[in-house]
Amino acid sequence: MNNWKWYLYTKDDIDQFEIEHQQNKSSRDWLNDNIQNKSNILEIEKNEQDQDVIKGSLVYEQQFNDQHDQKIFHFYLSQDQLITVNLDFSIFTHSSEELMEKHIRHAKTAVDGFLLIIRELLREYLCRIDEFEGELRELIWDIHEKNNTNILERIYKRRHELLVWNNLLIPIKELVMAIDEVYFDELESNKLFTRTQKRLKRTLYLINEYEAELDSIINLEEVVSSHRGNEIMKTLTVMTAIFTPIMAWGALWGMNFKFMPELEWKYGYLMSIIIIIVSMIAIYMYLKMKGWMGDLLKSKKKGTFFK
């Protein structure tokens, strides 16, 4: 393909790889070191032909509910060849596999072919992020209409999904930067590289914006929860204060001392009720006068916060 080769392998093709690359020690060492790898790796080195080589592994698919349910492919990129192991084209559900392979085969260089894979991967991410946006919009209005603990669970689930997206995109950003570092002179006027960079930038921009939006929602939930908690505590405090006279006078007159003159008063019962009621009303009026009975956020004076 235009003076460069693309080798596409699976784990079952290791023997074939050894045969086809028995003269290339660099690529064989790369495969032996990375074939069992389960995490992102990126290295830059020189091969036997003194060519710059970018090699490593990339986690390109990750399920949100299972840490170990992921897909990873291994890559070896030089000026004249691209080797990929375990790259599953079935994940590109929004692209035609045949058309994608056709574009890669018509790429001018191995670097362009690899950039096409990255660009299509980013396109897949963008399509899935659009689906995420719909779920986020629904969540925003559910908060307005029926806010409860289940909504809070959904908020933090969406937040975790964004963390996973970030975890997928950061290695891709590093990979694009490494390609720029190694092949800077060749990519200076490369439109494919520029478009890949812009697509990556757009994807990261969306993730960052949705993170900020979710953080705002979380802050809103914290304010609402704090306000409701304050309202509950205020209500309990006010009720306790108002009914304190009943408990105080009841405790006083519930004593069993031998000499209690109130027990002999003709109107003692009526007077005790009046004292209790007057005490309760006095406490209520005092709390109302201090502004502790109404809205905690409402000031007594217009144009002030604390007066």
Residues 6+ apart with CB under 8 A from 7: 17, 20, 21, 81, 82, 83, 84
Residue 33 Cα distances to 10, 13, 26, 57, 255, angstroms: 16, 16, 11, 10, 86
Average per-residue pLDDT in the chain? 83
> Roughly how many angstroms between the first and final C-alpha of the chain, as a whole number?
78
Task: Give, in degrees to the nearest 5, the angle at Cα 120 between 115 and 123.
Answer: 130
For residue 116, the model assigns a pLDDT of 92
Residue 299 has pLDDT above 50, yes or no: no
Residue 71 has pLDDT above 50, yes or no: yes
Residue 111 Cα distances to 101, 108, 266, angstroms: 15, 8, 105
For residue 295, the model assigns a pLDDT of 60
Residue with tokens 């069992």: 36
Question: Which amino acid is located at 194 in the chain?
Answer: T
pLDDT (mean) for 273-287 = 85
Nearest CA to 193 out of 171, 208, 177 is that of 177
Q: How confident is the model at residue 301 (pLDDT cuts 50, 70, 90)?
A: low
For residue 20, the model assigns a pLDDT of 66
Q: For residues 43 and 55, give the distance between their C-alpha atoms in angstroms, rounded to a whole number.
A: 5
Residue 304 has pLDDT above 50, yes or no: no
For residue 18, the model assigns a pLDDT of 65
pTM of the full structure: 0.74
Residue 307 has pLDDT above 70, yes or no: no
- The answer to which of 2-6, 156-160, 227-231, 273-277 has the lowest mean pLDDT is 227-231
CB 178 within 8 A of CB 54: yes
pLDDT (mean) for 97-123 = 88
Token readout for 245 is 């006279």
- The answer to which of 1-15, 73-87, 162-176, 271-285 has the lowest mean pLDDT is 1-15
For residue 296, the model assigns a pLDDT of 52
For residue 302, the model assigns a pLDDT of 56
Token readout for 71 is 């897909």
